[in-house]
Amino acid sequence: MLHTLSDQRVCFVGDSFVQGTADPLCLGWAGRLAQHAVARSINLTHYNLGIRRDTSRDIALRWQQECTARLPKDAAQRVVFSFGVNDTTLIQGAQRIATGESIGNFQHILSAAAHRFHVLVIGPPPMPDAAHTHRVERLDQQFADLALALNVPYLSVLDDLRKDPHWLREAASNDGAHPGAHGYARLAELVQTWDKWWFR
């Protein structure tokens, strides 16, 4: 069910990739999507709720309060989630968040969010480190399977960004994780052309 209300509110919830870390234009992919929608005369208010280093555990603790405060009932209420890279980061040889907990957090977040809001999920991106990307890839597949079971649209971007000429190169030359303007523009393009995106 889609609202026909003219007042469109979208919360982008996630980690540093949602926040747009290292983008010299300070837009990231979320800002570019909002910019594109506004350019098409869509009455959109977007909130970037990306926090650097956040894991699925952190997001599970904060998303409801943050989104509820920003999504009034008299507006079209939409939430985009994207996270997972930080869950798979190794600290002293162990993942920050065990895979089982990541899946549990993901299920808890989506189950609650889908009952209240229109929800989409953008999968985690690749990293310049191949071993890290392999861990992200396994989590991405499990996230995608669970989203399908919960009937929540899920866009996996890992393969497309891994083949992109800018994403990994920019990430490697920046801080080893985050791309620059070209990489974020490519991710925004993947979402913008996705048939589940609201403002195509």
The pLDDT of residue 6 is above 90: no
pLDDT tens for residues 104-139? Answer: 999 999 999 999 999 999 999 999 999 999 999 999
pLDDT of residue 1: 36
CA-CA-CA-CA dihedral for 188, 190, 194, 198, to nearest 10: 0
Separation of alpha carbons 16 and 7, rounded Å: 27
The pLDDT of residue 2 is above 90: no
Looking at this protein, which amino acid is placed at residue 191? Answer: V
What's the predicted TM-score (pTM) here? 0.96
Position 200 confidence tier, pLDDT thresholds 50, 70, 90:
confident
Looking at this protein, which amino acid is placed at residue 101? Answer: E
CATH label, 8-192, candidates 3.40.50.2300, 3.40.50.300, 3.40.50.1370, 3.40.50.1110:
3.40.50.1110
Domain ranges of the chain: 8-192
Q: Scanning the structure block, which residue is given the tokens 């837009």?
A: 27
Q: What average pLDDT does the chain have?
A: 96
pLDDT of residue 41: 95
Q: What is the mean pLDDT of residues 22-47?
A: 97
pLDDT of residue 102: 98
Position 4 confidence tier, pLDDT thresholds 50, 70, 90:
very low
- Contact by Cβ (8 Å): 151, 114: yes
pLDDT tens for residues 86-101? Answer: 999 999 999 999 999 9
pLDDT of residue 5: 58
pLDDT of residue 57: 98
